[in-house]
C-alpha cells in the first residue's frame, strides 16, 4: 500500500510540474515573441493610422487630459504632385535616432542637415535596427492604450512610417509631429519617435520618398530614406 501511495504521489507531483511549466510557457512565450516582433504601435487605430486623415476642430486625449488638436491647414504645396528627378543633390540621406540621448540626426552625405531632441517609447519600446521610410502622410489619427494609458490623437502631422524585415509595415512605427506634449529629450511615446512639429515639418520635406501629395508611398523610382535607431532609452 505504501509503495502504491508513494507511486501515486510521484505521479501527482509530476503532473503538477508539467502543468506549472506549461503555464509559465504560455505566459512567457508570447512576451518573448512580442519583444522580437512588436505589436502595433497604435493598438486602437493600427490600420487606420496608415491612412491620411484630417478632422476639423477635433479634441485629443492624452495622459488623461483633453486638448484641442490643431487644425491642419493644407496648402498647394501639400497637394500638388512633384516632378521626380529635380533634386540635383546625389548625396545619400540618412536619419539616425539615438535612444540613449533622445536625439535625432539627419545627414545628407557627410553634411549634418538636422540635430534635434525627440521622445521615444515610454509605454512600449521604440524598435532598434535599420529601417526604411515606406510611406509619408501629411496627417493621420493615432489612438491606443487602455485606462489611464488611453490616447486618441487626431491630426498627427508630418508622419513618416518606417519598417524592416522584423518590424513590418502593419506595426505602424513612425517619425511624426507632436502637439500633446513638449517634454522632448525624454521617452513619452507608445513606440513612435515624437518630434517637435516645426522640426519634423522640415524633415518631412527633406526626407524621401519625395512627397507627391497628401500620401506618398516609396517606389523603385522614389526610394525611402534610411533610418537607423540605436541605443537604450533612459528609464
Choosing from 7, 181, 190, 192, which is the catalytic residue?
Answer: 192
Catalytic residue among 7, 37, 40, 176: 176
| DSSP-assigned states of every residue in the chain | -HHHHHHHHHHHHHHHHHHHHHHHHHHHHHHHHHHHS---SSTTSTTGGGS----TT-EEEETTEEEEPPP----HHHHS---TT-----SPEEEEEETTTTEEEEEETTEEEEEEE-B-BSSSPPP-EEEEEEEEEEEEEEEE--GGG-EEEEEEEEEEEEE-SSS-GGG--EEEEE-S---TTS--BSSSEEEEHHHHHHHHHHSSSPP-SSEEE-BTTBPPPEEEEES----
Question: Is 181 noted as a catalytic residue in this protein?
Answer: no
| Catalytic (active site) residue 176 | yes
- By annotation, the residues acting in catalysis are 176, 192
Amino acid at each position: 500500500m505504501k509503495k502504491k501511495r508513494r507511486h501515486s504521489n510521484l505521479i501527482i507531483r509530476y503532473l503538477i510540474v508539467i502543468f506549472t511549466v506549461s503555464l509559465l510557457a504560455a505566459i512567457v512565450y508570447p512576451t518573448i515573441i512580442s519583444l522580437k516582433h512588436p505589436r502595433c504601435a497604435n493598438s486602437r487605430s493600427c490600420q487606420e493610422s496608415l491612412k491620411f486623415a484630417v478632422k476639423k476642430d477635433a479634441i485629443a486625449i492624452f495622459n488623461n487630459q483633453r486638448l484641442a488638436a490643431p487644425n491642419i491647414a493644407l496648402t498647394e504645396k501639400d497637394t500638388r504632385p512633384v516632378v521626380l528627378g529635380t533634386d540635383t543633390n546625389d548625396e545619400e540621406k540618412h536619419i539616425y535616432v539615438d535612444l540613449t540621448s533622445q536625439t535625432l540626426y539627419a545627414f545628407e552625405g557627410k553634411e549634418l542637415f538636422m540635430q534635434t531632441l525627440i521622445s521615444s517609447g515610454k509605454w512600449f519600446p521604440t524598435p532598434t535596427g535599420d529601417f526604411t521610410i515606406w510611406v509619408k502622410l501629411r496627417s493621420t489619427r493615432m489612438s491606443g492604450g487602455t485606462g489611464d494609458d488611453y490616447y486618441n490623437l487626431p491630426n498627427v502631422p508630418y508622419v513618416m512610417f518606417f519598417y524592416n524585415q522584423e518590424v513590418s509595415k502593419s506595426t505602424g512605427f513612425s517619425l511624426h509631429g507632436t502637439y500633446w506634449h513638449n517634454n522632448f529629450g525624454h521617452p513619452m511615446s507608445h513606440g513612435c519617435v515624437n518630434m517637435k512639429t516645426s522640426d519634423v515639418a522640415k524633415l518631412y520635406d527633406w526626407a524621401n520618398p519625395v512627397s507627391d501629395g497628401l500620401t506618398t508611398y516609396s517606389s523603385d523610382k522614389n526610394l525611402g530614406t534610411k533610418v537607423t535607431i540605436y541605443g537604450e532609452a533612459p528609464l
